Each structure stands twice: as structure tokens, then as C-alpha cells.
Amino acid sequence: MKPFVENSEIFSRLKAGSPQFFEKIVVELLVKMGYGGSRSDAGQVVGQSGDEGIDGIIKEDRLGLDVIYIQAKRWEGVVGRPKIQKFVGALQGQKARKGVFITTSTFSKERRITSL
């Protein structure tokens, strides 16, 4: 997958904002892309200090039985094994079946292969 163009105005604004701003934008974007169906209230930002690796959730059905858990990180360095393992642990703690890790950075080659 080709990385997002780093010198674009959008990318610069995403990186300049706070972590909470980035988490909110990611959740809102995924909802606008159709995740959560037609419900505008399907997404929720839950990230905060000590959030145990979950920054947002999207409920795909009205009962909230099918949930996508989101980790949204505005980082500079390469995302490696420890960060992905922490997220996987957070997913297991939620008994989650779906999770997505979104970053302004890149993933190590090892992590890209593992995540497939």
C-alpha cells in the first residue's frame, strides 16, 4: 500500500492537531465511509489517557453487538511489534472480532506481513 502523501495540507493539519483531534477525525471518517450503516451516531471516540489501546468504537448494528474497535495514532516513527501487540491485547480484552489500527506513520515490514 502506498503511503499517504506527507506534504499535503490535509496530512500536515492532521499531524499538527492534538491526539484527540486525530482520533475524532478517524472515527468520523470511518462513519462517513459507511461503517456503522446509516446511523450518524454509530461512532464514538473513547480514547483518553489509560484507554488501554482503544481510541474509538463503531457499532455496526443498533444493539451494538457487532463492534469495530479503533486505534488511531498520530506518530512519526515506524509502528512495530509492541504497539500492535498492545492493540491486539486490548482487542482480546474486549472479546473483539474486528479492529483497525490507523496511523499517520508507517508499519514495519514485519507488522504488515503479520497483520494480513
Residue at 40: amino acid letter: S
- Whether the predicted pLDDT of 27 surpasses 90: yes
Which cell is 47 given? 480514547
* Residue 19 near residue 45 (C-beta atoms within 8 A): no
pLDDT category of residue 116 using cuts at 50, 70 and 90: very low
Q: How many CA atoms lie within 13 A of 15 on its CB side?
A: 14
Contact partners, residue 49, CB within 8 Å, separation at least 6: none
Domain edges within the chain: 9-115
Region 36-43: mean pLDDT is 83
Q: CATH top-level class for 9-115?
A: alpha beta
